[in-house]
Amino acid sequence: GEDVEQSLFLSVREGDSSVINCTYTDSSSTYLYWYKQEPGAGLQLLTYIFSNMDMKQDQRLTVLLNKKDKHLSLRIADTQTGDSAIYFCAEDAGNMLTFGGGTRLMVKP
């Protein structure tokens, strides 16, 4: 089966940059996604990138895509305590998404 892999945990200090990494498996994916889940809530779409792009920037968020290595990353600049959450990457497989296991980001004041 397909596996989308992420590290489980990341801890940063407030004001630093956070980089969350993801490796995916399906080279035919058209879009790759980042979702955020705050405690006790559902998943919220943060951003997505089209597979023919290398980079996408949206305010404090930068998504980098390396198709050769099937590697996706999410950089959060000037990380704030409100960014503490679980972050999921996902790849599309036709009509469905395959999610990674999630990375828990902890931001220390």
CA distance 106 to 14: 9
* Least distance (Å) between residue 78 CB and another protein: 26
- Given candidates 19, 41, 55, 77, which one binds another protein under the rule CB under 8 A? 41
Using rule CB under 8 A, residue 39 touches another protein: no
- Given candidates 19, 27, 31, 54, which one binds another protein under the rule CB under 8 A? 31
CB nearer another protein, residue 14 or residue 98? 98
**Length of the chain counted residue by residue:** 109
**From edge to edge, which strands make up the β-sheet containing 61-66?**
5-6, 18-23, 71-76, 61-66, 55-58
DSSP state of 59: T
Stretch that binds another protein, among 16-24, 56-64, 65-73, 99-107 (CB under 8 A): 99-107
Residues engaged in binding another protein (CB under 8 A)? 8, 30-31, 33, 35, 40-45, 48, 88, 92, 95-97, 99-102
